[in-house]
């Protein structure tokens, strides 16, 4: 382990520069050219280091890839994962987009989730240099995680599940809060209520049927059903009406629903249908239109077992005690959990303010997270 940690320390500075390089390639989920450029940069580095590279072209999203340290190990493989896409359009961070100050990197994706890519590559290279040979280790790169894999029609999820099939553990390198690891996450349903009424001139107000007024009733009714630490219904965007002097005949309310289990998924959908069917403004109708969903990452025995293993390793090698964390945000780790693969999330570098222009990454945590993952891999029993 001393040799492994020494390798990580010696390589960490280079991976800081690598992270700056791939974060400077701006890659919003819908920007296939940008996401593909990140994929190319990582794959080229992996090939130069002698790793196996499988890249799959995705028609309507960025390409995906898996990078394998094939070391001859006969035990089930271990998988690490991160995504290449971000939520930021080109130019939002100015130029250069990545800045370094006071031990931090600031820029698009430094922790969500290109910092995870740097950690994953650092783990692979350090394990190879240290001569680890018990299990193949694979880094899986996703390309449309930020949009629930809608752009690819879930093809990126299918690729991830194909590449991780039979794995003994799955480390998803989203950003980490110090001392915490995630064993469960909420799922997300994105949809809209479409209300239709009857248009009329504002001077003939009572001849019309206001879709916006009906939508307002539904927003209040639905949001009142939100429960702290349970299902939440956030009506985040409203579109409706045509002109100030016209009774609006259509309105759409876009909703983000967060759920903890597949049972809550079914319940939430039934609530939405109930609210849609409840008419307050006579003459209006409403329908529910689903845009996308991401299943919840439920807290399973397999996930807890992997967490307990990592926690024991963390204490053994001086990283301190880890606490289980439950996240209200969704991630692709839900799908490996559903596939029965022991999964822990949020084990990437430490940072905060993701999805904002103040996103930052603690540079020293790149090596710290790599050590925690690499040590956890090396310490796995043969029956894990």
pLDDT of 229: 87
Indicate whether 86 and 194 sit together in one domain. Answer: no
294, 311, 346 - which closes a domain? 294
Residue 37 lies in a domain: yes
Indicate whether 337 and 363 sit together in one domain. Answer: yes
Which of 383, 382, 365, 379 shows the shortest CA–CA distance to 314?
Answer: 379
Residue 220 lies in a domain: yes
294, 315, 349 - which closes a domain? 294
In this predicted model, what pLDDT tens digit does every residue of 90-102 receive, in sequence order? Answer: 999 999 999 999 9
**Contact by Cβ (8 Å): 310, 326:** no
Indicate whether 321 and 281 sit together in one domain. Answer: no
Please report where in the chains the tokens 């250069």 appear, as a residue.
96
In this predicted model, what pLDDT tens digit does every residue of 61-82 receive, in sequence order? Answer: 999 999 999 999 999 999 999 9
In this predicted model, what pLDDT tens digit does every residue of 136-166 receive, in sequence order? Answer: 999 999 999 999 999 999 999 999 999 999 9
Residue 280 lies in a domain: yes
Domain span at 26: 2-185+296-378
Indicate whether 140 and 251 sit together in one domain. Answer: no
- The mean of the pLDDT values for the chain is 97
Alpha helices in the chain (DSSP H): 2-23, 32-48, 114-130, 155-164, 211-223, 262-277, 301-316, 333-338, 364-378
pLDDT of 266: 93
pLDDT of 383: 83
Question: Which residues make Cβ contacts (< 8 Å) with residue 36, sequence separation at least 6?
Answer: 62, 63
- The residues facing 83 across adjacent strands are 142
Residue 383 lies in a domain: no
Start-to-end CA distance of the chain, whole Å, equals 19
269, 294, 319 - which closes a domain? 294
pLDDT of 382: 86
What is the arithmetic mean of pLDDT over 106-128? 98
State the Cα angle at 116 between 114 and 118, rounded to 5°: 75
Residue 254 lies in a domain: yes
Confidence of residue 256 (pLDDT cuts 50, 70, 90): very high
**Contact by Cβ (8 Å): 172, 219:** no
Strands ordered across the beta sheet of 52-56: 52-56, 64-69, 137-142, 78-83, 169-172, 343-345, 180-185, 323-327
Indicate whether 85 and 36 sit together in one domain. Answer: yes
Indicate whether 119 and 228 sit together in one domain. Answer: no
Is 90 exceeded by the pLDDT of residue 262?
no
Residue 384 lies in a domain: no
> How many domains would you assign to the chain?
2
Indicate whether 132 and 26 sit together in one domain. Answer: yes
Indicate whether 124 and 259 sit together in one domain. Answer: no
Residue 68 lies in a domain: yes
In this predicted model, what pLDDT tens digit does every residue of 171-191 receive, in sequence order? Answer: 999 999 999 999 999 999 999
């Amino acid at each position: 382990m001393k040799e492994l940690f020494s390798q990580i320390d010696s390589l960490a500075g280079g991976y800081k520069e690598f992270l700056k390089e791939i974060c400077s390639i701006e890659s919003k989920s819908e920007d296939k050219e940008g996401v593909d450029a990140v994929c190319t940069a990582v794959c080229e580095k992996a090939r130069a280091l002698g790793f196996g590279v499988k890249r799959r072209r995705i028609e309507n999203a960025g390409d995906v890839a898996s990078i394998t340290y094939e070391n001859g190990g006969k035990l089930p493989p271990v998988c690490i994962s991160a995504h290449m896409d971000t939520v930021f359009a080109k130019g939002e961070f100015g130029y250069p987009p990545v800045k370094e100050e006071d031990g931090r990197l600031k820029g698009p994706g430094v922790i969500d989730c290109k910092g995870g890519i740097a950690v994953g590559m650092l783990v692979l290279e350090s394990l190879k240099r240290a001569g680890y040979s018990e299990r193949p280790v694979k880094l899986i790169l996703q390309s449309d995680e930020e949009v629930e894999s809608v752009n690819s029609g879930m093809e990126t999820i299918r690729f991830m599940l194909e590449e991780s099939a039979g794995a003994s553990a799955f480390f998803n390198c989203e950003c980490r809060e110090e001392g915490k690891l995630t064993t469960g996450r909420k799922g997300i349903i994105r949809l809209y209520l479409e209300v239709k009424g009857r248009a009329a001139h504002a001077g003939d107000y009572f001849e019309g049927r206001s879709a916006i007024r009906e939508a307002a009733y539904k927003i209040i009714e639905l949001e009142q059903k939100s429960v702290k630490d349970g299902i939440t219904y956030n009506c985040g965007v409203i579109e409706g009406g045509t002109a100030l002097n016209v009774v609006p005949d259509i309105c759409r309310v876009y909703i983000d629903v967060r759920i903890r289990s597949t049972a809550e998924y079914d319940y939430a959908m039934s609530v939405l249908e109930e609210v849609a069917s409840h008419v307050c403004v006579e003459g209006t109708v409403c329908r529910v239109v689903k845009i996308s969903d991401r299943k919840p990452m439920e807290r399973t025995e397999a996930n807890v077992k992997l967490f307990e293993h990592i926690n024991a390793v963390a204490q053994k090698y001086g990283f301190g005690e880890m606490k289980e964390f439950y996240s209200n945000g969704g991630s692709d780790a839900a799908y490996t959990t559903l596939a029965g693969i022991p999964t822990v999330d949020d084990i990437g570098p430490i940072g905060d303010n993701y999805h904002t222009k103040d996103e930052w990454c603690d540079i020293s945590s790149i090596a710290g997270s790599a050590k925690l993952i690499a040590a956890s891999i090396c310490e796995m029993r043969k029956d894990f």
